[in-house]
Structures are given as C-alpha cells and as structure tokens.
Amino acid sequence: MNLKNIKRKNENYLISQEIPIVENLPIYDVGKVRNEKQTARRAVLCYAIAGLANDASPMKLKKWLEEERLWNNLLDLEKTYFSKTIYSKQEIIDFSWHKECLYTLCWIGGIIEELDMPFEECSLDSIFSKIPPEITVDNFIDNFHYISNNTIIETADLYYRIHSTTHHPELWKESKKAYMLNMSVIRERRRTFEWVLDDKTIWTDISLDT
C-alpha cells in the first residue's frame, strides 16, 4: 500500500468529478486498524443510539443491549443517553447522525456494496433486514468482515480530502459539485473511518483535522 499513490489517485478522481482539491494537504495518516468484532459491535451501538432520535424507548434499548452483552461496550457518556426520557433538540440531532456512522460501518463490514458520494444523507432501508434486531447480534458479528484494509484506507483518504475541500469555499468557484457536498454527512463518515483506522481513538473524542 503506497499512501502517496492513494493521495494522487483520489486527487485525480476528485478533479474528474469537478470537485476542487486542497493541493498541499498532507498524506493521510493511518494507525492500527481496529478489530473487526469491535467494529461490528459499534455498528449495533450506533443503531441503538440512532433509535433514540426516532422515539425508541431508551429503557427497552438498554435492556436489549444488556441482554446482548453489548451494554459495557458503550462509553460512560453514551450510557447516560439511555437514562433519560426527554432529550434536547441538539441531543436528538446528535443521536440521529449515528445512522450515517452505521451506514459507513456496514459498508466497511461488507453489509452493503456501495458508499455513495456524500451529497445526501443515507437511507437505511436497504440494510434494516441485514442488521440486528432483524438478525441475531451474534450472527451479525460473525459475518461482519472488512471489505479490505486497502479499500477502507483509500476511501478514508478520499473523505479526508473532501472534508478539507469543504473548509475552503474560496476554491469552489464555479464547481456545482462542491456546493452539493453535505458537510454533516462528510463529518460523520470521516469520523467513522478515523475510529476504525486507529484503535487508540475514542468514539466520542475523534480529531477531524484537515
């Protein structure tokens, strides 16, 4: 795996899509890739947290996570999400963005085949039948396998470069595609890649420097 070649490939791709690039952006930095099973568990946790934004019962979700032996995989901060019955508007927004993380994790784990360009929020309709509780948690974890580390790193690098572009509107000029980019979608997908590609990161405290 040559990170310089990945950088060049992604820059050429973005240019071909009429999305401007930040030319002096450094080579993407990769840590130690996280364990597949830990990543699969995080996908289920994202599903549960996203459910809080859609009127799911926090008590029922907590009980389900406990029964599936996933409760202790939550961070202490995340556990507090399930002890409340009323949430602020910002909390609901924050919870809802976990669906974008879930979508990305499902692509990383081979549950879905494509990760569309980040112009619109994802739809989970195609994955509901492939994830818990529609299938067992054990089955989901056992069948969750990374598509390939190289593909994951290459796509993480792509999002790193797209994210940088969104911070430099002076480069957009006549690029309609740049104006179409959804900054929140980019942020959450990139957060997911950063977590998977560095097992020292903490889910609720991930640096998204560009």
- Residue 102's nearest CA partner among 80, 83, 78, 126 is 126
Which pLDDT belongs to residue 209?
81
The predicted-structure confidence for 23-38, as pLDDT tens digits, reads as follows 889 999 889 999 999 9
Whether 206 is in a domain gets the answer no
Prediction pTM value: 0.95
Whether 209 is in a domain gets the answer no
The number of distinct structural domains making up the chain is 1
Residues in CB range of 42: below 8 A, 6 or more apart = 73, 105, 195, 203
Whether 155 is in a domain gets the answer yes
Whether 191 is in a domain gets the answer yes
H or E, element range at 164: helix 149-166
For residues 156 and 166, give the distance between their C-alpha atoms in angstroms, rounded to a whole number: 15
Percent of the chain with pLDDT over 90: 87
Q: Measured at the alpha carbon of residue 108, what is the angle toward residues 210 and 66, in degrees to the nearest 5?
A: 105
Whether 201 is in a domain gets the answer no
> DSSP class of residue 118?
T
Q: φ and ψ at 202, to 5 degrees?
A: -105, 130
Question: Which whole number is the average pLDDT over 79-107?
Answer: 96
pLDDT band at 176 (very low <50, low <70, confident <90, very high): confident
The predicted-structure confidence for 156-168, as pLDDT tens digits, reads as follows 999 999 999 999 9
Whether 67 is in a domain gets the answer yes
Domain of residue 59 covers: 3-196
